[in-house]
Amino acid sequence: MEQGQIGVITRTLLQEQDAALLRAMGLRPNTKIRVCQTGGPWIIEMRRSGGACSRIGLADAIAAHIHVGPF
């Protein structure tokens, strides 16, 4: 994905410990995201129903295992 693009997480291929941590932060399948910054770290904005959103940073090694489809 490129900066500014919006998509929906379709699946993650992470070790369970990493996947559990991301789920606790709200990053899970069917989550709508927007890429704010690409690469080292990736900054993504997660959007929730009701308009709430938050941003997190992801290392390249983690971001590479998150699959995103079109919104």
pLDDT band at 70 (very low <50, low <70, confident <90, very high): very high
Which DSSP category does 57 fall into?
E
Return the CA Rg of the chain: 11
d(CA 4, CA 7): 10
Fold classification of 6-70 is: SH3 type barrels. (2.30.30)
Average pLDDT on 2-15 reads 95
Read off the pLDDT of residues 38-66 as tens digits, 9 standing for 90 and up.
Answer: 988 999 999 877 778 899 999 999 999 99
Determine the pLDDT at residue 48. Answer: 77
Read off the pLDDT of residues 11-28 as tens digits, 9 standing for 90 and up.
Answer: 999 999 999 999 999 898
Domain ranges of the chain: 6-70
Burial 32-67 (b: 16+ CB within 10 A, else e): bbbbeebeeebebebbeeeeeeeebebeeebbeebe
